[in-house]
Amino acid sequence: MENSTNNIDLLFKKKFEDFQPKPPESVWEKIKANLPKNPIGGLSGSSFVKTFVVILILAVPAYFLINFQEKPVKPPINKKTVPNTKLTIKNTPKIAEIEIEPISSDVVKNDEITPTLVNKKIAKPVSIKEEAQKTQITENKTVIVNIPEVEEQSFIIADNDLLLAYLPKENPQITTKKSTVNFNSKSEVTVFNTNERKKGNFNLGVFVNPEMIFYPSDDIPNKTNLNLNLSISYNFSNLFFESGLGIGLAKDNGNFNIDYERYEYLGSYENVYNVTFDSTENGVIPTFYTNTVDVYDSIRHVQISQTQNCYTYLQIPLFIGYKINSNKFSYSIKGGTSLSLLIFEKIPEAVLPSGNISIINLNEDNPGRIKTLWHFMFSAGIEYKLSDRMSIAIEPTFRYYMKSAYERNYFTTKHPFSIGLRTGVLIKL
Amino acid sequence: MHSEKKIIEKCLKNDTKAQEKLYRLFSQKMFGVCLRFAKNKMEAEDILQEGFIKVFSFLKNYRNEGSLEGWIRKTMINTAINYYRKNARFANEVDIDNYEVKQNVNESVIDRFAANELLKIINTLPDIYRLIFNMSAIEGYTHKEIGEIFNISENTSKSQLMRAKSILQQKLKEFENK
Q: What sign does the dihedral B10-B16-B18-B22 (CA atoms) show?
A: positive
Give the predicted TM-score (pTM) of the model.
0.40
Backbone phi, then psi, for B166, in 5-degree steps?
Answer: -60, -45
Nearest to B31 among A3, A11, A21 (CB): A21
Packing angle between helix A25-34 and helix B41-57, nearest 10 degrees?
40
Residues of A in contact with B19 (CB under 8 A): 32, 35
Average the pLDDT over each of A159-173, A199-213, A349-363 and give the range with the smallest value.
Answer: A159-173
**The residue type at B143:** H
pLDDT at residue A299, rounded to an integer: 81
Residues of A in contact with B57 (CB under 8 A): 36, 364
pLDDT at residue B64, rounded to an integer: 74
pLDDT band at A227 (very low <50, low <70, confident <90, very high): very high
pLDDT at residue A46, rounded to an integer: 55
Residues of A in contact with B175 (CB under 8 A): none
CB contact under 8 A, A38 and B169: no
Please give the class, per CATH, of domain B2-86.
mainly alpha
Measured between alpha carbons, how far is A212 from A224 in angstroms, rounded to an integer? 5
B171 touches chain A (CB under 8 A): no
How large is the C-alpha radius of gyration of chain B? 18
Mean pLDDT of chain A: 69
CATH topology of domain B107-177: Arc Repressor Mutant, subunit A (1.10.10)
Residue A359 has pLDDT above 50, yes or no: yes
pLDDT at residue A16, rounded to an integer: 86
pLDDT at residue B32, rounded to an integer: 93
Q: What sign does the dihedral B97-B101-B102-B107 (CA atoms) show?
A: positive
CB contact under 8 A, A22 and B10: no
The domains of chain B are located at 2-86, 107-177
Residue of B24, B53, B85, B106 to mutate for A, most A C-beta atoms under 10 A: B53
B119 touches chain A (CB under 8 A): yes
Q: In the predicted model, what is the mean pLDDT of residues A113-126?
A: 40
CB contact under 8 A, B118 and A12: yes
Task: Give the contacts of A242 (CB within 8 A, at least 6 positions apart).
Answer: A231, A232, A233, A234, A317, A318, A319, A320, A321, A334, A336
DSSP state of A39: -
Number of inter-chain CB pairs under 8 A, A vs B: 126
DSSP-assigned beta bridge partners for residue B59: none
Query: At A159, is the secondary structure helix, strand, or coil?
Result: coil
Nearest to A42 among B14, B32, B104 (CB): B14
pLDDT band at A334 (very low <50, low <70, confident <90, very high): very high
**The residue type at A402:** M
CB contact under 8 A, A37 and B14: yes
CB contact under 8 A, A15 and B110: yes
Nearest to B23 among A15, A31, A362 (CB): A31
Q: Please tell me which residue, A407 or A422, carries the higher pLDDT value.
A: A422
B92 touches chain A (CB under 8 A): no
3-state secondary structure A94-133: CCEEEEEEEEEEEECCCCCCCHHHCCCCCCCCCCCCCCCE
B129 touches chain A (CB under 8 A): no
Q: Please tell me which residue, A91 or A231, carries the higher pLDDT value.
A: A231
Q: Are A200 and A236 in contact (CB under 8 A)?
A: yes
Do B107-177 and B2-86 fall under one CATH topology?
no
Residues of A in contact with B106 (CB under 8 A): 1-5
CA distance A282 to chain B (A): 47
B143 touches chain A (CB under 8 A): no
Q: In the predicted model, what is the mean pLDDT of residues A381-404?
A: 90
CA distance A24 to chain B (A): 8
CB contact under 8 A, A34 and B53: yes
pLDDT in tens, B32-71: 999 999 989 999 999 999 999 999 988 888 877 788 899 9
